[in-house]
Structures are given as structure tokens and as C-alpha cells.
Amino acid sequence: MSRIGKRAIPIPAGTEVSVVSNELIVKGKGGTLKKMVHPAVTIAIANGEATVTPKEKSRLGRALWGTYAAHVRNMISGVNTPFIKKLQVEGIGYKVELTGKQLKLIVGFSHPVLLAIPEGITAVVEKNIVTVSGSDKEAVGQFAASVRAVKKPEPYKGKGIRYEGEVVREKQGKKAAAAAA
């Protein structure tokens, strides 16, 4: 039994939640989010609360019960307050610029890397910190991960793109390892 799925999800004032032909629609001050609902679960809205229940007692229904409850919770909170991910660009000569609807990353390659910012996501660049925000938690996380994947932090000097607060364990270099032996 899903502990997350059992709990009713409160719908705050100013937020509309509806299910129309297997599509969940959440509207609020931060925009509108839509998600297709799997046929194995049902979402009911009553008395200012949303509840998710499995349609049948199958393994798939039980597996998706808590997943869709988490999706509904994330959609409701994202429409009210945007999700934020911060990325740091570290390294000598590494920089990031915002050019229109693209991020221009200069991170040690022979060419700059251009990444298109998806619809519904905003990116702000201040010095070497990129702030990605939006109402869709999955889209914000995916775009932040794709920016980080351009140049992951390397373990010797720590150069690259990392999440703010991410700890990168640094290894010893060749010279330090040779001196210890």
C-alpha cells in the first residue's frame, strides 16, 4: 500500500485542478500544467482535495498509485511557487551567457555549446551561476541535468558544471601519488 498515495492532496485557494478525459489539468498563478493519467489509476477532486486511487488491485495500479500522487502534488506546488535549480560553472576561462532563448556555454571545447531553453522554463545567468526555474518540476530538472551533462565536474581540479551545493570528491594527482609511494 502506498503511504504517499493514501494521503489526500490539499488544493490551495486560487488553484484549479480538473481531470478531463484522462488528462489532469492544473491551473494557477504560475501557469497551466497538463499530464496524461494512466488508465490504472483514478484521480478524484472533491472538497478542496485531490485523491489518487488505483482502479484495480493489480501490481501496475499499486506501483503507479504513489507515483501519480507525487505528480499531482508537484504540479500543484509548481503552479503556485516555481521550482528552482542552480548550477555553478567553475574553471579558468569557463563562462556562460544568455543569448535570446539559448544558453551559450564556453567550457573548454574548441567551440561554444548552445543549448535551447525549453518553453515554460526561464534561465537567468549571474556571473558563473545559472538559475533554472519553472512550474514543471520534471522539465526544470531535465534541463538542469542537460546543462550539467555538457561538462560534468572532473575529479582532479573540480572544473566543470555542478549543481549548487554539490560536493565533488577530488582525487590526488599523479605527482602527489608518486611522492607518497
70 and 89 in a common domain: no
pLDDT band at 1 (very low <50, low <70, confident <90, very high): low
Q: Residue 15 falls within a domain, yes or no?
A: yes
Classify residue 12: in a domain, yes or no. yes
Nearest to 35 by CA among 46, 26, 48, 45: 26
pTM of the model: 0.88
Asked if residue 21 belongs to a domain, the reply is yes
- Convert the pLDDT of each residue in 90-133 to its tens digit: 999 999 999 999 999 999 999 999 999 999 999 999 989 999 99
Mean per-residue pLDDT for 3-27?
91
Residue with cell 499530464: 35
Tell whether 106 and 48 lie within a shared domain.
Answer: no
Among residues 158, 164, 92, which one has the least CA distance to residue 129? 164
Q: Among 72, 181, 43, 144, which residue's Cα sits nearest to residue 152?
A: 144
Residues 59 and 99 placed together within one structural domain of the fold:
no
For residue 106, the surrounding DSSP H or E stretch is strand 102-106
CATH code (residue 42): 3.90.930.12
Cβ contact 52:75 at 8 Å: no
Residue 120 burial (10 A CB sphere; 0-12, 13-18, 19+): middle
> Does some domain include residue 181?
no
Q: How many domains does the chain have?
A: 2
Are 97 and 159 part of one and the same domain? yes
Given 52, 80, 108, the domain boundary residue is: 80
Q: List all residues 6 or more positions away from 171 whose beta carbon is below 8 Å from its beta carbon.
A: 155, 156
Domain that holds residue 133: 83-163
Are 12 and 69 found together in one domain? yes
pLDDT one-digit tens code per residue, 32-85: 999 999 999 999 999 999 999 999 888 999 889 999 999 999 999 999 999 999
Which residues face 115 on adjacent strands?
Answer: 103
Alpha carbon distance 181, 179 (integer Å): 6
Same domain, 74 and 104: no
Contact of 41 with 64, CB cutoff 8 Å: yes
Tell which of 42, 61, 80 closes a domain. 80
What are 157's three cell numbers?
581540479
Of 17, 50, 80, the last residue of a domain is: 80
51, β-bridge pairs: 44
β partners of residue 9: 50
